[in-house]
Amino acid sequence: MTAQAPAPVKDRQETARRPPVPSWLRRVAAANETWTFGVLALLVAFFTAARPSTFLTRYDITQIATNAAIYLVLGVGMTYVIIVAGIDLSVGSVLVLSAVLSAEYTIHHGGAGSGWGTIAVSTLIALATGLLWGALQGWLVAKAKVPPLIVTLGGFGAALGAAQIITGGQDPAGAVSGKLQKTIGFGKLFGQIPWLVVIAFAATLVFGLVLAFTRFGRYTYAIGSNPEAARRVGINVDAHLVKVYALVGLLSGLGSVMWLAYFGTTSIAGHSTDNLKVITAVVLGGASLFGGRGSVLGTVIGVFIPAVLSTGLIIMGVQQYWQDVAIGVVLVAAVYLDQFRRRGRDHG
Amino acid sequence: MAQPLLEARRLTKRFGHVRALQDADFTAYPGEVVALVGDNGAGKSSLVKTLSGTIRPDGGQILVDGSPVELHSPLDARRHGIETVYQDLALAPDLDAAANLHLGRELYRGGLLGRLGVLDHAAMRRSAVTAFAELGVDLQDVGAPVATLSGGQRQSVAVARAVAFANRIIFMDEPTAALGVVQRGRVLDTVRRVRDRGICVVLISHNMPEVLSVADRVEVLRLGRRVARFTAADTTVEELVGAMTGALDAESAGGAAGSAGQAAADAPRKDGAP
Ligand SMILES: Nc1ncnc2c1ncn2[C@@H]1O[C@H](COP(=O)(O)OP(=O)(O)O)[C@@H](O)[C@H]1O
Ligand SMILES: [Mg+2]
């Protein structure tokens, strides 16, 4: 036996002693969610103080949550994609295509008066459409090595175009079963919580837990952080990428079912900016477009910031367009901060 | 000497028209520290990546315990008990030290949760703390992202990962390059301790005194080919440098020395690293 490990002598150049802050506290303070949550809390406090009697009544909260539900579902998928250093511009169009294919089935199987059998099949069609479209895009990204921006920009156009070909560009009548609208669309769990919100919450919870606590989540972060390192430890990077893009597709399909249930129409022309809204929410939530960082919790906060902002501005009687200005500024600031911190950190 | 643990025979590898390896041979015996030295661009990293399954050679043969093997991926190498500290470390900077240590070899919770792929963060953290303590690495927070660590600490994480899982052979590609004097000494102690556990260590280093102090044998690579082999105890720094630069060709076998002049004609570029 040659030498024992020397007692941990402090390397002067190695460890500039950090102040004695507990590590969990440092981690909380460094977490993006902490800061975005602060912004959200500030907004809520501001509007509540400005309009104590009208802001955040139960009606508002329900309304905000319902409006946010679909974006939240898309945002959860987008969180995964952005963490693997990808992007998905196609979410809104995939939602439309899924809605249209499921509507076509409904129209030919009882239309507005159709029953649960038709609802089940049309829902499966919507989910499968999203899943397959997403998987195809994932395959193009992972195997064909086409940049995700281009693959999903193409997907954005192609899915919308396909939906318009199928419908002739008009939202078809009888696209949704009245039963689905009455239950999932307008119904409430225990007469209290809209089903739309329950579904969004469930999807968020499940995929939030998967991201934070399972191997699938760990590999998602690892690939976004350093794909070559992931490959060298034996992670099947290509297969994982396909799964991630398939997941965001699946959730777009779920979003289409929620949309149909709530609005009762396919709204072919109404989803051209979904992608930007969702990406904004995810980035506001602290995900890095360079990959490796982000969380579902952050995305939840990021979805609610615009939602709270627009409700608050309406209540205060401010022109709603100010919301877009505010969000734009906050978004750019968030990305600037991310880059700034990344630069500081990578000096290490 | 005993049967070689790992043997490379006439490996070739091209990148475009750069010939990184040209009929490169390499031998490692059980329980030894063998240093692999050579100038920048000699092909050391390429050889290591080939032998750890990260890149596929264009030609040649790899033998483990005397029988030919195909290393299609790093997993194949791992299955033979081969671990690697890559020159670029191959860490995921956004993950913490514990996660990096276990990357690709995660520990799972018991029961149903584990079967659902739920990780046991606490167990991985504990085992990381143990692994770092064994190396004498002083990491204040195994939960901090690797990107926030110093260069030396990152290198320690990569070394600890290889040491924790290797059971036959570890490649270390310039593991001391980013280190200060104290940490460098600690890594060299680690090399010796790993060797004393019966694991073969292949050490790449540009520091000749360091090489001679820790290695049992030295193999010299020049222009993608093994040009000399030495027993560390009977070798001087001058001899090593002579072999690295081609002033001295000591490889007697295989006529390698004879074609060195021709090889020099298409010398790979130097990559300017110190
Ligand atoms: N991925 C690659 N692509 C192109 N050329 C490479 C690649 N890897 C190594 N090389 C070239 O192969 C030669 C050997 O490199 P390397 O194995 O890194 O040498 P060393 O580690 O001894 O410095 C160099 O000329 C280098 O530029
Ligand atoms: Mg090298």
Asked if pLDDT for residue B152 goes beyond 90, the answer is no
Asked if pLDDT for residue B249 goes beyond 80, the answer is no
Asked if pLDDT for residue A229 goes beyond 60, the answer is yes
Whether B153 and B26 map to the same domain: the answer is no
Q: Cβ of A42: how many Cβ atoms within 10 Å?
A: 10
Pairing type for strands B59-64 and B67-69 reads antiparallel
Is B180 a domain residue? no
**H helix intervals, chain B:** 44-51, 74-79, 97-101, 111-115, 121-134, 151-165, 181-196, 208-214, 237-245, 260-265
Residue type present at position B124: M
Is A126 a domain residue? yes
Is A23 a domain residue? no
Is B126 a domain residue? yes
Is A343 a domain residue? no
ipTM for the complex? 0.84
Question: Which residue minimizes the CA distance to atom 18 of ligand 1?
Answer: B45
Residue range B93-104, pLDDT digits in tens:
999 999 999 999
| Distance of alpha carbon A282 from alpha carbon A66, whole angstroms | 18
Asked if pLDDT for residue B265 goes beyond 50, the answer is no
B180 closest CB neighbour out of A11, A215, A231: A11
Rounded to the nearest 10 degrees, how much is the dihedral formed by the CA atoms of A158, A162, A164, A167?
Answer: -170
Q: In the 8-state DSSP scheme, what is residue A9?
A: P
CA B74 to chain centre: 13
| pLDDT higher at B268 or B152 | B152
Q: Looking at the complex, does the CB of residue B120 fall below 8 Å from at least one CB of chain A?
A: no
Q: What is the mean pLDDT of residues A44-60?
A: 77
Q: What is residue A87's predicted lDDT score, i.e. its pLDDT?
A: 97
| Distance of alpha carbon A14 from alpha carbon A232, whole angstroms | 28
A14 closest CB neighbour out of B153, B185, B193: B153
Asked if pLDDT for residue A145 goes beyond 90, the answer is yes
Q: What is residue B173's predicted lDDT score, i.e. its pLDDT?
A: 95
Nearest to A308 by CA among A84, A15, A41: A41
Whether B36 and B57 map to the same domain: the answer is yes
- The band of A16, judged by pLDDT with boundaries at 50, 70 and 90, is very low
- The band of B251, judged by pLDDT with boundaries at 50, 70 and 90, is low
Residues 159-218 of B with CB under 8 A from A: 180, 182-183, 185-186, 189-190, 192-193, 196
Q: What is residue A345's predicted lDDT score, i.e. its pLDDT?
A: 61
Domain residue limits at A52: 34-338
Is B182 a domain residue? no
Is A325 a domain residue? yes
Nearest to A235 by CA among B92, B127, B268, B85: B92
Q: What is residue A281's predicted lDDT score, i.e. its pLDDT?
A: 93
Residues of B in contact with A236 (CB under 8 A): none
Q: What is the mean pLDDT of residues B226-248?
A: 89
Residue type present at position B177: A
- The band of B255, judged by pLDDT with boundaries at 50, 70 and 90, is very low
Is A262 a domain residue? yes
Is A29 a domain residue? no
Distance B51 CA to ligand 1 centre (A): 15
Is B53 a domain residue? yes
Q: Is A295:A286 a contact under the CB 8 Å cutoff?
A: yes
Provide the number of CB pairs (under 8 Å) joining chain A to chain B: 129
| Nearest ligand 1 atom to alpha carbon B224 | 14
Asked if pLDDT for residue A23 goes beyond 70, the answer is no
Whether B118 and B58 map to the same domain: the answer is no
Whether B3 and B50 map to the same domain: the answer is yes
- The band of A342, judged by pLDDT with boundaries at 50, 70 and 90, is low
A348/B86 CB distance under 8 A: no
Whether B135 and B271 map to the same domain: the answer is no
Helical axes A274-284 vs A58-83, angle rounded to 10°: 90
Average pLDDT, chain A: 86
Asked if pLDDT for residue A344 goes beyond 50, the answer is yes
| Distance of alpha carbon A254 from alpha carbon A127, whole angstroms | 6
| Distance of alpha carbon A127 from alpha carbon A250, whole angstroms | 5
Residue range B2-24, pLDDT digits in tens:
799 999 999 999 999 999 999 99
Whether B110 and B53 map to the same domain: the answer is no
Q: Looking at the complex, does the CB of residue B127 fall below 8 Å from at least one CB of chain A?
A: no
Is A254 a domain residue? yes
Longest dimension (CA), chain A: 84
- Which residues have CB under 8 Å from A339's CB, separation 6+? none
| Distance of alpha carbon A71 from alpha carbon A305, whole angstroms | 12
The total of structural domains in chain B comes to 2
Residues of B in contact with A230 (CB under 8 A): 92, 103-104
Q: What is residue A348's predicted lDDT score, i.e. its pLDDT?
A: 42
A346/B147 CB distance under 8 A: yes
Q: What is residue A193's predicted lDDT score, i.e. its pLDDT?
A: 86
Mutation probe of ligand 1 site: the residue of B11, B15, B84 with most atoms within 8 A of C-beta: B15
With a pLDDT cut of 90, the percent of chain B lying above it is 68
Query: What CATH number is associated with residue B207?
Result: 3.40.50.300
Q: What is the mean pLDDT of residues B137-164?
A: 88
Residues 17-56 of B with CB under 8 A from A: 54
**Which residues of chain A form beta strands (DSSP E)?**
188-189, 193-194
A215/B93 CB distance under 8 A: no
The total of structural domains in chain A comes to 1
Q: What is the mean pLDDT of residues A188-199?
A: 88
B148 closest CB neighbour out of A214, A226, A345: A345
Final residue in a domain of this structure, among B165, B184, B213: B165
Final residue in a domain of this structure, among B165, B185, B206: B165
Q: What is the mean pLDDT of residues A257-286?
A: 91
With a pLDDT cut of 70, the percent of chain A lying above it is 87
B189/A233 CB distance under 8 A: no
Q: Give, for B230, the enclosing helix (H) or strand (E).
A: strand B225-231
Q: What is the mean pLDDT of residues A226-252?
A: 96
Is B188 a domain residue? no
Residues of B in contact with A221 (CB under 8 A): 92, 94-95
Q: What is residue A313's predicted lDDT score, i.e. its pLDDT?
A: 81
Query: What CATH number is associated with residue A108?
Result: 1.10.3470
Question: Which residue minimizes the CA distance to atom 13 of ligand 1?
Answer: B20
Whether B98 and B45 map to the same domain: the answer is no
Ordered DSSP codes for A261-325? HHHSS--GGG-TTHHHHHHHHHHHTT--TTSS---HHHHHHHHHHHHHHHHHHHHTT--THHHHH
Residue range A283-326, pLDDT digits in tens:
988 898 899 999 999 999 999 888 888 888 887 888 878 877 87
Q: Give the nearest chain B residue to A229 (CA atoms).
A: B90
Asked if pLDDT for residue B168 goes beyond 90, the answer is yes
Q: What is the mean pLDDT of residues B219-229?
A: 94
A6/B99 CB distance under 8 A: no
Asked if pLDDT for residue B121 goes beyond 60, the answer is yes
- Give percent helix, percent strand, percent coil of chain B, each to the nearest 5: 40, 25, 40
B182 closest CB neighbour out of A1, A11, A27: A11
Q: Which of B86, B87, B103, B197 is the best substitution to test chain A (most A C-beta atoms within 10 A)? A: B103
Domain residue limits at B67: 1-81+168-175+195-274
Residue type present at position B56: R
Is B48 a domain residue? yes
Is B181 a domain residue? no
Is B187 a domain residue? no
Whether B75 and B106 map to the same domain: the answer is no
Nearest to A76 by CA among A247, A288, A314: A247
Asked if pLDDT for residue B27 goes beyond 90, the answer is yes
Tokens of A327: 């969000």
| pLDDT higher at A337 or A281 | A281
Q: Is B144:B127 a contact under the CB 8 Å cutoff?
A: no
Q: Cβ of B59: how many Cβ atoms within 10 Å?
A: 13
Is A27 a domain residue? no
| Distance of alpha carbon B45 from alpha carbon B21, whole angstroms | 10
